Amino acid sequence: MKLKSSLPAALKYQAVVIESAAREAGLDFFEVVFELLDAADVNGIAAYGGFPVRYPSWRFGMDYERLEKGRTWGLSKIYELVINNDPTYAYLVASNSLLEQKLVMAHVYGHADFFKHNIWFAPTDRHMIDTIGDHASRVRRIIDVVGQERVEQFMDRALSLETMIDPYLPLRKLRQSRPDAPDSSSLSERSRAALEVLSGSPAEMLQSAEPEEVPAPKLVGDFPTFDILGFLGDNAPLEPWELSILHIVRREAYYFSPQRMTKIMNEGWASFWHSRLLTGGLLDASEICDFADAHSGATSCQPGALNPYKLGIELFRYAEERGEDIFQLRRVHNDVSLIDKLADEEFTERFLRAPVPQQPGVPPGAAEAPPSWREVKAQLLHSLSWGGLPQIELTGVGPEGELQLVHHHDGRDLQLAATGESLKYMAAIWRAPVHLLTLEDGEGRRIVATEDEVSIDEAEDAAASCSEDSAA
């Protein structure tokens, strides 16, 4: 094991012991590198998405201020921070107790195993620390030539669209890249190239062609597509430096996407194993009560709220009780598919249904009948589908060059004002209007955005296009 020399001897010893126990239990992971930092430094890395270096953005500063205020006021505390990378990096907070450090280390080995073996992480860049550092250097070189203000303006536009991707695309691409897969020139193949950041010298990257010398582009890409960032990268009339930033944002968005799709599983798997390992002999007798307190705090859940640690650990415990191969489950599923497989009536009633308080003055049995367990399960699955994000699909380009988008409605309305602002940024990148069909309270709406303004009108034809069944 490769450990930073700054790690105290007691923690180095615990890391070796816990790693050995984790491997004996069947966990398998890349080399894990622990670093010990002050709480403020851990918050700084957390604000950067878990990476020690990122390109400059005011958004990271705001995230840091939020985290620091939460820590200072005692409202929040980061116990664990681990990066999907080879080697896997994890950060320990220096102010934590020895028991907390042991819990976090065991938890980290669970995450590290999940990162290595879950199929949704298979297409991710396993050397993302180096890639993120390269992205930061590229953006700083662009700033040196173009200027901070122009870069920040475009970066804000691109980051506002970072969820406009297809979370299933990398896995489809991975499957199609197998030797027995048929040759394909589909969107997924073209998207592979788009995932790579532009190469070339800074001068080539920053040069700008004269608009009158550029012929009208032939659109690249098949419709419909959820990979809107990829389409913009292929077709938007951008300067080379803008295209480089857009590709950076898209590549990082696809790296983080599996974490959104597997949040419950990932935290549940890590919680399952930190509990199993520590209670299996790694705790001293004097630490048992403190461990129980720390573990119950992490997995506690208010009625009606969803705690991914709690739900995830109960899913794997339930699967083990049923005789399921939990290692196979953690390999092939995401949150939606695992819950769909395991959540039967018993599990739903025990862990998914929020208790309904008796209303004063209402006789028992007179209140409205609660939803069935199948309805409770379906509601949760809807909220988790597509990583909890709305499904926005690009269906084509209109005769006037406008982008035509459809929101596949799953029962949750968009926040139209915020959506309109994002569409304005998209229109600024596309340099033409953007149209989006959606539903609000069951009524069709068409949002039309240009770089400068947004309008929202009724759209009678939206219902058929926006129904959930119309999703590709």
**Per-residue pLDDT tens digits for 351-398:** 998 755 545 555 555 556 789 999 999 999 999 999 999 999 999 999
Helix H segments across 262-325?
263-277, 288-299, 308-321
Specify whether the CB–CB gap between 310 and 300 falls below 8 A. yes
Q: Judge whether residue 209 has pLDDT over 60.
A: no
With a cut of 90, say whether residue 56 has pLDDT above it.
Answer: no
In this predicted model, what pLDDT tens digit does every residue of 3-42 receive, in sequence order? 444 689 999 999 999 999 999 999 999 999 999 999 889 9
Please state which of the ranges 106-115, 173-182, 355-364, 453-462 shows the lowest mean pLDDT: 355-364
Residue 43 vs residue 250, higher pLDDT: 250
Q: β-pairing, 454-458 with 403-408?
A: unpaired
- Indicate the Cα dihedral angle 195, 199, 203, 208, nearest 10°: -40
Q: For residue range 96-129, list pLDDT tens digits in order.
A: 999 999 999 999 999 999 999 999 999 999 999 9
Please state, for a pLDDT cut of 90, what percent of the chain lies above it.
66
Mind spelling out the 3-state secondary structure of 276-293? Answer: HHHHHHHCCHHHHHHHHH
* The two structure tokens encoding residue 95: 């102010």
User: How far is CA 22 from each of CA 31, 36, 207, 410, 462, rounded to the nearest angstrom?
Assistant: 13, 21, 52, 40, 53
pLDDT of residue 215 exceeding 70, the answer is no
Q: What is the pLDDT of residue 112?
A: 98
The alpha-carbon radius of gyration of the chain (Å, integer) is 24
Cα dihedral sign, 142-144-145-150: positive
* pLDDT at res. 436: 96
Every domain of the chain and the residues it spans:
9-118+262-299, 128-261, 390-470
- Return mean pLDDT, the chain: 86
Indicate the pLDDT class of residue 208, thresholds 50, 70 and 90.
very low
Q: Tell me the residue type at 83.
A: I
Contact 105/61 with Cβ under 8 angstroms?
Answer: no
Flag the least confident range among 116-130, 188-202, 266-280, 344-358.
188-202
Q: What confidence score (pLDDT) does residue 311 get?
A: 96
Q: Is the pLDDT of residue 179 over 70?
A: no
Q: Which long-range contacts link 282-289 to residues 24+ away (Cβ below 8 Å)?
A: 282/17, 282/18, 282/21, 282/102, 282/106, 283/99, 283/102, 287/99, 287/102
Residue 471 confidence class, pLDDT cut points 50, 70, 90: low
As a whole number of angstroms, the distance between CA 176 and CA 386 comes to: 21
283, 327 Cβ separation under 8 angstroms: no
pLDDT value of residue 297 = 83
Cα 42 from Cα 32, distance rounded (Å): 17
Q: Describe the strand order of the beta sheet including 454-458 as a list of residue ranges.
A: 391-397, 403-408, 434-440, 443-449, 454-458
8 Å CB contact between 106 and 208: no
> What whole-number distance in Å separates Cα of residue 270 and Cα of residue 266?
6
Q: The tokens 């403190």 sit on which residue?
A: 290
What are the pLDDT digits (tens) for 222-260? 789 999 999 999 999 999 999 999 999 999 999 999 999
pLDDT at 242 (0 to 100): 97
CA-CA-CA-CA torsion for 147, 159, 207, 53, nearest 10 degrees?
A: 70
Strand bridging mode 32-37 / 88-93: parallel
- Rounded Cα gap, residues 439 and 447, in angstroms: 10
The whole-number pLDDT of residue 470 equals 55
Taking residue 119's Cβ as centre, other Cβ atoms within 10 Å add up to 16
> Above 50 in pLDDT, residue 164?
yes
Convert the pLDDT of each residue in 71-82 to its tens digit: 778 666 777 889
Per-residue model confidence (pLDDT) at position 374: 95
The span from the first CA to the last CA of the chain, in angstroms, equals: 46
Q: What is the pLDDT of residue 103?
A: 95
